[in-house]
Every structure is written in structure tokens, then in C-alpha cells.
Structure 1
């Protein structure tokens, strides 16, 4: 596909909240909507969220990521929650299990950014990887941290999607400036 035809595609973006309590309605999911709001601030090209709220169960997380990438054709999946050291925090393992290749720079940059705000950021196991032609990014669970981490890594996301022949993501450069090499 050419950049022109990719620019006309509606980008389907998976948003996955991993939370035992939110998945059963014990409390409202505020993290998924925070991702959606952040992406709405960034993106000027057409996109459609595909949102899931699921329990912190590794098999369920893996199945959801596979469904969003393979059946729902999401070329970007952004997850929230389940990245800490607690026994039930298994999202990084689930992400690694479904990915062909890992993208460790995303997690490194997100932790560096989060350390500016909280010393416990070093406990985070945020990561990112590629499943076929889908980029999966694991974010922390707090809305403020979601925005801080996405602000740090999102400038690389549109070009990553370009390299995988995905939809062309255009951004409001007054909000976030994506990096694309000069041609």
C-alpha cells in the first residue's frame, strides 16, 4: 500500500484495561477512557477504538491481544494495568507470549519518564512488542501515568506503524509531534 492509500484507512486501535475489579464492575474503568482521551488529543486522522475490560488472567490477556491483532485488525493495541510486581500482574508475560519480537526501548523510555515523578517507577514492568503487523504497548494503570508515558513514546508510534504498512497516523503537532524521517 502507498502512504496515500494508508492515509485513507480508518485506524482500529485496541484499548485493553486489565483489572480484576473493573472487569466485574466493582469499580469504574477510568484507565481505558484515559487512553482513548489521550489518543483523541493526539490523532487527527480517522481512528476507531476497540475497547476491552478484562481480568488479570494470563490466558485471557493473551486471547484478547490475539483477537484484537488477528481478528479485529488493530494495528496498535494499548493496554493499561497489570505491569507491577504483584503476583496477579501478568500482562508483560502475556504480551511477550503473543509477540514475535519485543521492543524493549518503549519500556525503558516509559520507566525513565515515570521516574521523574515517582521513585516506584522502577517497579514497573512496562513493555512493548510486535505481533505480526501490530504494535502492542503496555502502560501503567493510573490515568496521569498513562498520559506521561504515552507523551514519551508516542512520537515513535506512527513511524513504527508506517514500517509495518499500517494506516497512516496523522497527529495534531501542537499536541504531539511524531517523528518520521525526511524523504
Structure 2
């Protein structure tokens, strides 16, 4: 069973000024896969706060997988990739490459997303953009890879 933490990065969402449709969609999609939501939070686009929450979830084994949504674009306050890079121990570049390739087929602007993926302790962290369309497409692009990656992280698969 995969435990998933969902962290939405949104200034307006964190203040209650916008409904978190992307986070809600992620919850629905992970539950459809039979995965368990172990943590959910909406926080502002503040690098230190993003770093702190990612570390808290990974270091306390709250989740096997952290999916972030938001803060991956080109705007000055989009700092999710930088925060993620600051706390991961290993980068997993193939996942964002697959995401951009798969979603770029439908939406060329997908190549402007700066999302990254990496590992901290025994937790896989993947950054998704903030729109519901992007979240759906990104999740669909990598959902079949995730269980195998988590099993390797947990030591349940030693050969691959």
C-alpha cells in the first residue's frame, strides 16, 4: 500500500481565497489507484515553508510519495523546484522528463514547467504544475512507474 502526501503550493489557496481543485483531484486519483492519502496541506509559495514541510513528511516517514502541485512555472514566486532540490538527497530526472514529454504532446506549454523529482530518505517527491488539466496529465504519465519505484525505495525489490 502506497502512502501519499499531497502538498498544494498556492498563495491564494493557503489564504482560503481559492479552492484547491488540483489537490482535490490528486486525492481522487490516488484513491482510484488504491493508494492512501496520509497527509494533505495547502501552503503559500514560500521556499522555506515548502522545504520544511517536505522534510517533515519525508523524515517522519509520513508518506512513501509526496506529490506537490503548484509553483513550478516561471513566475517570480514559483519556487517549488528550488525548495525540492534543496532537500532531496538524490534526483530522479527521468520522471519529470517523462512528464514533460507525455504532456507536451497535448500542451506545448508543458515544457515551461520546471518540476523536479527526487528522493529524501525513503520518500519519492514529484512536483506537478498547479492546474487540474496538468495534474491529471502528469499523474497519468507516471502513475505506472510509481509503485515499482516505491518498492525499490522500501527494499521490497532488490533487482530491477
Q: Which TM-score applies when normalising by structure 2?
A: 0.92
CA distance in 2, matches of 1:149, 1:48: 18
Aligned-pair CA distance for 1:142 = 1.1
CA distance in 1, matches of 2:79, 2:24: 22
CA spacing shift, 1:130–1:150, aligned 2, 3 Å:
same
Q: Which residue of 2 aligns with 1:56?
A: 45
Q: Is 2:8 the partner of 1:17?
A: yes
Q: Which residue of 2 aligns with 1:130?
A: 119
Contact kept, 8 Å, 2:88 with 2:120, in 1: the verdict is yes
Unaligned segments of structure 2, at least 5 residues: none
Q: Which TM-score applies when normalising by structure 1?
A: 0.81
- Tell me how large the CA RMSD over aligned residues is: 1.9
Greater C-alpha radius of gyration: 1
Please state whether the residue corresponding to 1:155 is helix, strand or coil. coil
Please state whether the residue corresponding to 2:83 is helix, strand or coil. helix
Contact kept, 8 Å, 1:75 with 1:166, in 2: the verdict is no
Please state whether the residue corresponding to 1:49 is helix, strand or coil. strand
Contact kept, 8 Å, 2:71 with 2:129, in 1: the verdict is yes
CA distance in 2, matches of 1:17, 1:48: 14
Of residues 70, 75, 79 in structure 2, which corresponds to 1:86? 75
Aligned-pair CA distance for 1:72 = 4.9
CA distance in 2, matches of 1:52, 1:114: 25
CA distance in 1, matches of 2:21, 2:145: 25
Q: Which residue of 2 aligns with 1:147?
A: 136
Displaced runs of 4+ in structure 1, greater than 2 A? none
Of residues 4, 9, 21 in structure 2, which corresponds to 1:30? 21
Please state whether the residue corresponding to 1:17 is helix, strand or coil. strand
Unaligned segments of structure 1, at least 5 residues: 1-9, 169-179
Aligned-pair CA distance for 1:52 = 0.7
Aligned-pair CA distance for 1:11 = 3.8
After TM superposition, the structure 1 = structure 2 runs for residues 87-126 of structure 1, keeping only pairs within 5 Å, are 87-126=76-115
Q: Which residue of 1 aligns with 2:65?
A: 76
CA distance in 2, matches of 1:167, 1:41: 23
Contact kept, 8 Å, 1:17 with 1:32, in 2: the verdict is yes
Please state whether the residue corresponding to 2:124 is helix, strand or coil. strand
